[in-house]
């Protein structure tokens, strides 16, 4: 009897929500946001378009009125955190189809430009121009739609730029640009729109997908001031499957503690930005550090080239960008080039190399952590 009564109650809830959907549609001023609906009830999933399914519920686009109606009906909802790509807005695009140099200064600085064979590196970003002559994209997926779809078209350029720093191979003619680990398997899962905004449920879904597909490294040149529980749990899932996760520290410096999430997660390798003279960029986010050479929550782990970085662009040519977005793929590429057979062993090896090339201030500091890892 109770079960029947509960079912009737849910039907009434869905009916009430349907009315709120109609009412919201009449108000052109009420915008939609993305929410995690903490229920797996089939009736609710029928009433709302499901973006992604999670163990604790599903995400959907809701108006404020719909979200309030759910909460008033006893269904808990949580706003989905919006992340952003982390290139500096003042980036200068150089539209030339032959690079000014084949090995950019950052690739030279970390002694990259070779290796990475057999290592899978998944970039979560705005997509990639998979037809770029200098890129060989082995996996191309899109998490910005419902579930995981085929395709990874880059309408922004950021994702193509990041990808080139990791794995550009110079092209079949050998006249193009080279990344840190040109032999690595480059995978792309699109999680950001053309404007550089990235929903955290899309990111979390992509992290889990990449881990399940057998990636070795996940590279995320994106961040937010707020931590997403969906991303936090997805990172734990990926790390549990042996994945090395690398992310940008953020562009909110120079104050200590300005580091972004997910880079601030202790399980994630957070990367700050340096210039060609090894000076820390003023805008590079800093962590909070106790100087003990142990990566803990809200700490930067490495500094890497992130100022005036030349790489591949979505129009098939090249661009020069700055940001911790550009620093991150240098470390992701190094991890591929120097893969030690496991994520834990590779992370330790990179830390040991970074200690040999200390930056900023002696020891483990808030701006560049252990230092700059350089390939032997």
Which positions are annotated as active-site residues?
125, 158, 325
Structure tokens at 170: 């110079």
**Residues 361, 351: Cα–Cα separation, whole Å:** 16
146-158: buried (b, 16+ CB within 10 Å) or exposed (e) per residue?
Answer: eebeeebbbebbb
**Enclosing H/E stretch for 11:** helix 2-26
**Residues 319, 312: Cα–Cα separation, whole Å:** 6
- What's the Rg (C-alpha) of the chain? 22
CB 139 within 8 A of CB 187: yes
**Residues 181, 179: Cα–Cα separation, whole Å:** 6
| Spatial CA neighbour of 142 closest among 210, 211, 238 | 210
**Enclosing H/E stretch for 107:** helix 105-109
- State the DSSP string of 188-232: EEE-S-TTSEEEHHHHHHHHHHHHHHT-SEEEE-EEBSS--HHHH
Question: Residue 329: how many CA atoms within 13 Å on its side-chain side?
Answer: 43
- Sign of the Cα pseudo-torsion (5, 11, 12, 14, in order): positive
Task: Report CA dihedral (330, 334, 337, 339) to the nearest 10 degrees.
Answer: -140
């Amino acid at each position: 009897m109770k079960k029947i009564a509960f079912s009737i109650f849910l039907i009434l809830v869905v009916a009430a929500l349907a009315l709120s959907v109609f009412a919201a549609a009449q108000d052109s001023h009420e915008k939609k946001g993305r929410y995690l609906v903490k229920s797996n009830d089939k009736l609710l999933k029928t009433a709302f378009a499901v973006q992604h399914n999670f163990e604790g519920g599903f995400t959907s686009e809701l108006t404020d009125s719909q979200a309030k109606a759910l909460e008033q009906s006893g269904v808990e909802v949580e706003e989905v955190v919006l992340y952003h790509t982390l290139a500096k807005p003042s980036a200068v695009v150089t539209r030339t189809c032959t690079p000014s140099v084949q090995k950019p200064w950052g690739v030279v600085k970390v002694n990259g430009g070779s290796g990475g064979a057999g290592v899978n590196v998944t970039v979560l970003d705005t997509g990639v121009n998979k037809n770029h002559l200098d890129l060989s994209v082995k996996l191309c997926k899109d998490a910005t739609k419902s579930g995981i779809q085929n395709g990874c078209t880059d309408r922004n350029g950021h994702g193509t730029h990041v990808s080139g720093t990791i794995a550009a191979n110079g092209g079949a003619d050998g006249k193009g640009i080279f990344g840190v680990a040109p032999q690595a398997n480059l995978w792309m899962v699109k999680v950001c729109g053309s404007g550089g905004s990235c929903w955290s449920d899309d990111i979390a879904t992509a992290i889990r997908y990449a881990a399940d597909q057998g990636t070795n490294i996940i590279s995320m040149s994106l961040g937010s001031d707020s931590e997403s529980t969906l991303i936090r749990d997805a990172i734990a899932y990926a790390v549990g499957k042996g994945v090395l996760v690398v992310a940008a520290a953020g562009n909110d410096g120079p104050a200590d503690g300005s580091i972004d999430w997910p880079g601030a997660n202790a399980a994630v390798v957070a990367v700050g930005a340096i210039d060609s003279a090894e000076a820390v960029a003023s805008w590079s986010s800093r962590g909070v550090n106790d100087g003990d050479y142990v990566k803990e929550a809200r700490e930067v782990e490495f500094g890497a080239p992130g100022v005036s970085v030349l790489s591949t662009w979505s129009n098939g040519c090249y661009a020069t960008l700055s940001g911790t977005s550009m620093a991150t793929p240098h470390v992701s590429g190094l991890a591929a080039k120097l893969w030690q057979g496991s994520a834990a062993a590779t992370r330790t090896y990179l830390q040991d190399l970074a200690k040999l090339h200390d930056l900023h201030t002696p020891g483990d500091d808030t701006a560049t952590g252990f230092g700059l890892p350089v390939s032997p």
